[in-house]
Amino acid sequence: MAELTVERTAIDGLLVVRLPVHGDARGWFKENWQRAKSVPLGVPDFGPVQENMSHNVEPGVTRGFHAEPWDKYVSVAAGRVFGAWVDLREGDGFGTLVTTEIDPGLAVFVPRGVANAYQALDPDSTYAYLVNDHWSPEARDRYTFVNLADETIACPWPIPLSEATLSEADENHPRLDAITPLPRHGRTIVVGGDGQLGRALRAVFPEAEFLSRSELDIASAESVAAFDFDHVDTIVNAAAWTAVDAAETPEGRVGCWRTNVEGVGRLVEVARRHRATLVHVSSDYVFDGTREVHSEDEPFSPLGVYGASKAAGDALVATWERHYIVRTSWVIGEGPNFVRTMVDLARRGISPTVVDDQYGRLTFADDLADAIAHLVRTSANFGSYNVTNDGPTQSWFDIAARIFELVGAEGSVSPVSTEEYASGKSLAPRPRHSTLELDKIRSAGLVASPMSPRLTEYVGGLLRPWGITLGHSSQP
């Protein structure tokens, strides 16, 4: 008896699956789709949600070519069927034809964007297909068709089309030269597209849709329910409640939880429903900071409401297998942040006090965006990854003093303990140690940029509009 095997074809992603069929005088039995055996052999874990069957009374019944907006797994329940597939996706493979005969011992995985057609070879032939989205009249509006008799495709039909049974619609589909190639990949959406990270992601995902809160508010069930997620392959969640101190207030606790937990849970369910990859940005605040360096597998130990909400969100994301949790700290990008504040104070000759007993590394938003793009585009193993800039651990005071030095400020920075700084203020607890271990992201092929030169570059960019060169401030 043959073993289950999977064969690649001339069309990228189109797979021929040879199935063991157990037969005797009574008939036969086969495992038509067996996830645990098929996925390790290369068949995508495509998450079928609907099964359809097509019964053909006479040989010669021919249907196609249809490119539907879902993946498809086709097999035969009775008789024999000639199958033909044409790649309608953009790229060098556009127009490529693959054909084979399908009997009960063979199945074919058809990726979205590849048009399929079938011709019955025996009386009472029946084929079945699993799909990973539900059919609806609206879904049919997103089909792409090409003519069965197209001269460029030149499909070698066993039964000539002049002798075959076709529907009127199939007879009148357009020729290949009238088809606009379909995108090879589905949509990428970035939630929280107006934030520091969202703005940095625009450079590495130019094809993505960047969504402001007014376009998609994950804290609102109604907003998520109304959004069109069709054809979404990748969701990058750069949206979060980040007002750490406000999260400790009665009103803030509610708002923080709605976004960082309930909102994230909605994105998880969307990703699960659409088999999409979910990239979620996490925080060093999921830890209490008692360890000097945090690895990806350290148990959660948040100190405050914000940290607890991020930990709960991470736990929800981890329930969906196609996820990247990107944990980071001390993000610096385009928008209000610590470095901008220190540069502004230095320019104005103001001497601040800065805590000297909280330790970590800065993460520049551009480098964080590069890391996210690297994970997605290299199809790195799913899971959690720490991402910050590299270099020695420093305190906030160390970083502030370096900024004042770069600016050439006349003022200076004074160190203060967290306890002294917090006296008389309503502040959320902070982890003392925020340094994240970077071994795992290195093993995924990404070397983090050192923090020190990136800080120098960033400060120089902030000073340039005022005509100030590094180390030579001119206070107003």
Reply yes or no on whether 323 is catalytic: no
Task: Give yes or no for a contact between 443 and 425, defined as CB atoms under 8 angstroms apart.
Answer: no
Query: Which of 118, 127, 129, 359 is flagged as catalytic?
Result: 129
Residues in the chain: 476
Q: How far apart are CA 211 and CA 190, in angstroms?
A: 6
Closest CA to 73 of 53, 58, 95, 92: 53
Reply yes or no on whether 66 is catalytic: yes
Contacts of residue 275, Cβ cutoff 8 Å, sequence gap at least 6: 46, 47, 132, 322
Q: At what angle do helices 396-407 and 451-463 cross, to 10 degrees?
A: 50
Q: How far is CA 7 from CA 12, 71, 130, 344, 454, in A?
A: 11, 17, 19, 62, 47
Task: Give yes or no for a contact between 268 and 317, defined as CB atoms under 8 angstroms apart.
Answer: yes
Q: How far apart are CA 16 and CA 9, in angstroms?
A: 7
Strand 209-211 to 81-87 pairing = unpaired
Q: At what angle do helices 338-347 and 396-407 cross, to 10 degrees?
A: 40
Q: Which residues are catalytic?
A: 66, 129
